[in-house]
Amino acid sequence: MEKLALSLYILGNRESNSNAVERFQRSGETVSQIFTNMLHIFARMGIDTIKPTEGQFEEVSNHIRHDIRYWPHFKDCIGALDGTHIKACISPSCQIHNIGRKGEPTQNIMAVCDFNMCFIFAFPGWEGIAHESRIFLQAPRKQKLKFPHPPLGKYYFVDSGYPQMAGFLGPYRGNDIIYLTFIELRLNPNTHSTIVSNLTDIVSNLTATVTNLTATAIFNLTGGKHTAHPN
């Protein structure tokens, strides 16, 4: 129980190793070993807990069904797949491969969210310089990760950084995308009240809106304490 308490103390409060040493009266080396081991355990637990519920992909999301802009054209969309960068505390000798686009060390995380902003897959641990497509192509290949493949005829929305392939629908590349946050759309439906004149606009705007699910969900999960920004 002490190992769990120590790890949750660090994670939940963003505490340093030295503060944990003082709080639990353990050596710095012991605290570091415990925390590292518990992180591996949490990662393994996540594979079995962060997943779709049974039969989830068989039902059409109410966010699609009850929106005349998207129903029935996008009835087979089951969620959004996207990446985000989280600030990382890394020793100077290892920072070079973790410097993201904003010039700070980050961890690149790929995640899948459903329309209720619940995570159904997460793939953390990638260095900040890793490209989205590289992470994306690795996830389905590693069986131990239990990636939730879209059933036949279903698909995830992805942004333009990911390959266009069966089961993954990206924005129409001929259009500029106006990004609308999922929260803005949920709180103010009139945000999107303008009649869209063609199907490519609908695909692009819906894709942009839905793929913001991951960044918004991560922001909510961390209580806004951790800086998260899309790839």
What gap in Å lies between CA 66 and CA 71, rounded to an integer?
7
Residues 6+ apart with CB under 8 A from 139: 110, 121, 123, 145, 147
* 184-190 average pLDDT score: 45
- What is residue 207's predicted lDDT score, i.e. its pLDDT? 52
Q: Where are the alpha helices (DSSP H) in the chain?
A: 2-13, 17-24, 28-49, 62-65, 132-138, 182-187, 199-211, 213-221
Given a contact cutoff of 8 angstroms between Cβ atoms, the answer to whether 156 and 81 are in contact is yes
What gap in Å lies between CA 228 and CA 136, rounded to an integer?
19
Q: Closest Cα to residue 98, out of 137, 63, 125?
A: 125
C-alpha dihedral sign at 58, 61, 67, 69: negative
Q: Closest Cα to residue 115, out of 24, 19, 47, 212?
A: 212
What pLDDT digit, counting tens, does each position of 127-177 carry?
888 888 888 888 888 888 899 999 999 999 888 778 888 899 887 665 544
What gap in Å lies between CA 97 and CA 22, rounded to an integer?
32
Q: Closest Cα to residue 202, out of 192, 190, 214?
A: 192
Residue 179 has pLDDT above 50, yes or no: no
pLDDT, the chain, mean? 75
Given a contact cutoff of 8 angstroms between Cβ atoms, the answer to whether 95 and 87 are in contact is no
What pLDDT digit, counting tens, does each position of 194-204 carry?
333 344 454 45
* 75-104 average pLDDT score: 79
Instruction: Output phi, psi for 65, to 5 deg.
Output: -60, -35
What gap in Å lies between CA 159 and CA 182, rounded to an integer?
14
CA atoms within 13 A on the CB side of 211: 29
What gap in Å lies between CA 65 and CA 201, rounded to an integer?
19
Q: Closest Cα to residue 206, out of 151, 174, 169?
A: 169
Given a contact cutoff of 8 angstroms between Cβ atoms, the answer to whether 126 and 138 are in contact is no
- What is residue 229's predicted lDDT score, i.e. its pLDDT? 44
**At 98, is the pLDDT very low, low, confident or very high (cuts 50, 70, 90)?**
confident
